[in-house]
Amino acid sequence: MKLIRLLHFTDIHFHSVSLAGHLPTWKELLGYANLYIAGRRKAFAALEAAKALCELVQSLNPDVVIFSSDLTSTGTCEEFATAYEHLRPLIESSNTFEAAQGKNRSTASGPFLIMVAGNHDGYTQ
């Protein structure tokens, strides 16, 4: 029986204020207040966490990487774009990404990547 190595991470909370082009909803305002007035953004070092995660995946070479819940703080397009930019090495080296590009998963080199959205990822929708 082959052992499967799993790496799990959660609640990375990429955040940015994006008020251009629309009036914020009450939920967005509460989210921003939580981040900036209550100081919660200091608890989430998303850029550092993303860098460390990509390095950890490269060094441990797990079979499966599972991300569950809250990639972003308020679910804005800017936060998702920032998250993708900083997690790109992990995402694009995964055999999930390679399979989506039409490559054979059995010859892929990276881990199988599973990502499940959390409540903050749909926060403003």
The per-residue pLDDT for range 4-34, each reduced to its tens digit, is 999 999 988 887 766 666 677 777 777 777 7
Cα 4 from Cα 121, distance rounded (Å): 28
Q: Which of residues 51 and 41 earns the better pLDDT score? A: 51
- CATH of the domain spanning 6-16+23-122: 3.60.21
- Determine the pLDDT at residue 96: 74
Work out the mean pLDDT of the chain and round it to a whole number: 80
Indicate if the pLDDT at residue 65 is higher than 90.
yes
Lowest pLDDT segment from 6-10, 78-82, 87-91, 97-101:
97-101
What integer pLDDT is reported at residue 1 of this predicted model? 82
104/49: higher pLDDT: 49
Which H or E run contains 76? none
pLDDT at 81: 92
* Residue-level pLDDT at 70: 86
- The count of other CB atoms within 10 Å of the CB of residue 92 is 13
What is d(CA 75, CA 125) in angstroms, rounded to the nearest whole number?
A: 8
Instruction: Name the burial class of residue 79, with classes exposed (0-12), middle (13-18) and buried (19+) by CB atoms within 10 angstroms of its CB.
Output: buried
Domain boundaries, the chain: 6-16+23-122
